């Protein structure tokens, strides 16, 4: 079963193939059917007694995928996955400027959506440094080798449990760098954004780059556009509740 009965995306098929899962006999269910048995999968990552846990099956699947990847010597050792090429209404700010700072430090800046799943994993397995905005993009660190330095660019001031889970599971060295001035308006679901990211002084300090032309947050046009957008969301919410 898929959302809205849409066909299984090609990248899903590619990932299942890398995991040695034969989907040729799968039946795409688009209407109500009777089944003798239904098997529901458990969570692969979970909290138990205040400890982070993962199933042995999850480890087996990830290891199988990595074993089916041919590592290319041409893959970069310093890798940044960016979302700057994605048209996402949740993302505001100056991520392209963040990309440029990493380029100056020798990072290869990649828009992952432009590559196949196999190509993405090839790069992740090979790299020694992996940077990405915290969230679904940074969760690709699950395919990094143990000991890889993973730089998580924080999009908001809340704890992303999956980032912690994946860091411990993959045995990588996680480094958190603040790159945001996000104002959280959805307290129960902060992960929905919208987010504001920009080259902070913390990022300049981490990358050992001197900001020759520092622009303070309140002088950034992009920040005020973000503020006005937030005000519009809050106002519309208030109006809808009063109706």
CB 60 within 8 A of CB 169: no
Please report, in angstroms and rounded to a whole number, the separation of the first and last CA atoms in the chain: 37
* pLDDT for the residue numbered 159: 82
b/e 145-180 (16+ beta carbons within 10 angstroms → b): beebebbbbbbbeeebebbebbbebbebebebbbbb
Q: What is the pLDDT of residue 233?
A: 86
- With vertex at residue 242, the alpha carbon angle to CA 236 and CA 243, rounded to the nearest 5 degrees, is 95
pLDDT per residue over 135-163, tens digit each?
Answer: 889 999 999 999 999 999 999 988 888 89
Give the pLDDT band of residue 166 (cuts 50, 70, 90).
very high
Per-residue pLDDT reduced to its tens digit, 83-99: 887 777 677 888 999 99
Residue 231 burial class via C-beta count within 10 angstroms: exposed 0-12, middle 13-18, buried 19 and up: exposed
Find out whether 143 and 122 touch, Cβ atoms under 8 Å: no
8 Å CB contact between 134 and 155: yes
Encode pLDDT of 188-215 as tens digits: 888 888 999 999 999 999 999 988 666 7
Asked whether the CA dihedral 72, 77, 82, 85 is positive or negative, the reply is negative
Burial of 1 (0-12, 13-18, 19+ CB in 10 A): exposed
Three-state DSSP class for residue 54: strand
Joined tokens for residue 238: 């208030």
CB of 144 closer than 8 Å to CB of 120: no
Residue 174 · residue 150 · CB < 8 Å: yes
Average pLDDT over the chain reads 88
Question: Region 51-58: what's the mean pLDDT?
Answer: 87
- 218: burial class by Cβ within 10 Å (0-12, 13-18, 19+)? exposed
């Amino acid at each position: 079963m898929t959302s809205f009965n849409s066909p299984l995306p090609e990248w899903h098929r590619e990932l299942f193939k890398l995991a040695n899962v034969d989907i040729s006999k799968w039946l795409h269910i688009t209407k109500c059917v009777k089944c003798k048995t239904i098997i529901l999968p458990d969570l692969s990552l979970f909290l138990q007694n205040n400890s982070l846990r993962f199933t042995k099956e999850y480890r087996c699947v990830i290891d199988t995928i990595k074993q089916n990847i041919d590592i290319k010597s041409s893959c970069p050792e310093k890798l940044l996955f960016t979302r700057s090429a994605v048209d996402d209404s949740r993302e505001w700010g100056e991520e392209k400027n963040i990309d440029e700072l990493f380029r100056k430090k020798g990072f290869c800046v990649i828009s992952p959506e432009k590559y196949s799943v196999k190509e993405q994993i090839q790069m992740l397995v090979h790299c020694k440094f992996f940077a990405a905005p915290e969230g679904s993009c940074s969760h690709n660190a699950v395919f990094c080798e143990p000991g890889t330095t993973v730089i998580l660019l924080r999009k908001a001031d809340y704890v992303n449990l999956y980032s912690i889970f994946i860091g411990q599971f993959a045995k990588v060295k996680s480094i958190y760098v603040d790159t945001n001035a996000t104002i959280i308006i959805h307290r129960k679901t902060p992960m929905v954004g919208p987010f504001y990211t920009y080259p902070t002084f913390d990022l300049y300090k981490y990358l050992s780059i001197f900001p020759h032309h520092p622009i303070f947050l309140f002088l950034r046009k992009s920040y005020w556009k973000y503020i006005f957008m937030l005000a519009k969301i809050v106002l519309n919410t208030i109006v809808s509740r009063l109706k």
